[in-house]
Structure 1
Amino acid sequence: MLVKVMSVFNCDSEKLFHEVKKSKSLVYIGKPLVKFVQLPKHPLPEVWEDGKYPIKMYILGFIPMGKQWIVISVHNDNKRIRDNGYSNLIKKWDHNIHLTDIGDNKTLYVDTIDINAGILTYFIVLFANVFYRWRQKRWRKLINNKFNYNV
């Protein structure tokens, strides 16, 4: 099933894409709905690069969702990042972030997620709809605070 959430942000698309490529943005943007925990032997890169990264996920910061694989491909030419991730629970979590400069220092930000979790797909899709709206709200806050991750 497909989830698509989009927003227009008051931010230069190049600057926003620079921030989207930081792995610390994943941690910040997910709080407090999802907590992402790096595994000691598999630290996330400071800036996303093509690769496969295991993490642990917790819903609301304390409900364990087990190990999730983040499978990143970065497409600098068209300001897109893809996470073709999965876990034991979710067989397919194909998430694309795509940024488009729409002029006047504004960026169209689109999250598109294709999800397959077997009989749990409907429930995961409901959660994804809430989560990605939350993420875009957090992006707006981060942009308004000039990318200060400590606020």
Structure 2
Amino acid sequence: MRVLLKLVLDCDPDDAWRAIRSPHVFQEVSAPLTRFSSLAVGGFPELWPAGEHPVGMSAFGLCPVGQQVIDVSFPDAPAGVRIMRDSGRGLSGPLALVAQWEHSMAISAAPGGKTLYRDQLIFSAGVLTPLMWPLYWAFWQWRGVALRRLAPTWSWGTTRRTNLSL
């Protein structure tokens, strides 16, 4: 099944690109519904590099849900578009029920110095897929609201304050 978001964010595309590669932003747009903790030695990197990143997930920071691998890549894209993809997998708990996971985020310029943000999740959990779709859809809407709220604060290289410690 597929979940889609298409938003215009009130920030520069370079700032949005840095933000979607930030584990800090990943945690912010997921909270408080889900909390993630790095299982890698040294914790989360400043920006996601390509490769596998093991994480633990909990609901509302209280109930462990399981462990997963976030498998980051940066596929080639048309001129003016930047893409980050997570082709990870669940390792334990309900996360391990998902047999296919492909989450792609695309950043490109929009008029007025803003950013066109496109987000697509393709997933499969066998016969459970139709039951899981509403949960993922609702979570993606939550993320969309958080992205819109936070985008104006993402600024590197200007004097605007940012909520990120990068």
Structure 2 stretches of 5 or more lacking a match? 91-95, 155-161
Matched residue count = 150
Q: Give the counterpart letter for 1:23 in structure 2.
A: P
- Structure whose CA Rg is larger: 2
Unaligned runs of 5+ in 1: none
Q: What CA RMSD, in Å, does the superposition of the two structures yield over aligned residues?
A: 1.9
Normalising by structure 2, report the TM-score.
Answer: 0.82
Structure 1 match to 2:16: 16
* Separation in 2, partners of 1:14, 1:135: 20
Identity %: 28
The answer to whether structure 1 residue 85 and structure 2 residue 88 are counterparts is: yes
For the residue of structure 1 that corresponds to 2:106, the secondary structure is strand
* 1:88-139 CA-partner distances (Å, limit 9, x unpaired): 2212221000112122112111110001112221222211111111111111
Matches within 5 A, 1:90-129: 90-129=98-137
Greater alpha carbon shift after TM alignment, 37-46 vs 66-75: 37-46
Q: C-alpha distance in 2, partners of 1:85/1:123?
A: 20
User: What per-residue deviation string (whole Å, max 9, x for no partner) do you get for residues 28-79 of structure 1?
Assistant: 1100111111115363221111100111111232232211110001248631
More strand by share: 1
Q: Is the 8 A contact 2:40 2:55 kept in 1?
A: no
TM-score of the superposed pair, with normalisation by structure 1: 0.89
The question of 1:58 aligning with 2:58 is answered yes
Q: 1:40 to 1:99 in 2, by over 3 A?
A: closer
Structure 1 runs (4+) greater than 4 angstroms displaced:
none
Q: Distance in 2 between matches of 1:111 and 1:6?
A: 6
Query: CA–CA distance in 1 between the matches of 2:89 and 2:106?
Result: 20
Q: Tell me the secondary structure at the aligned position of residue 98 of structure 1.
A: strand
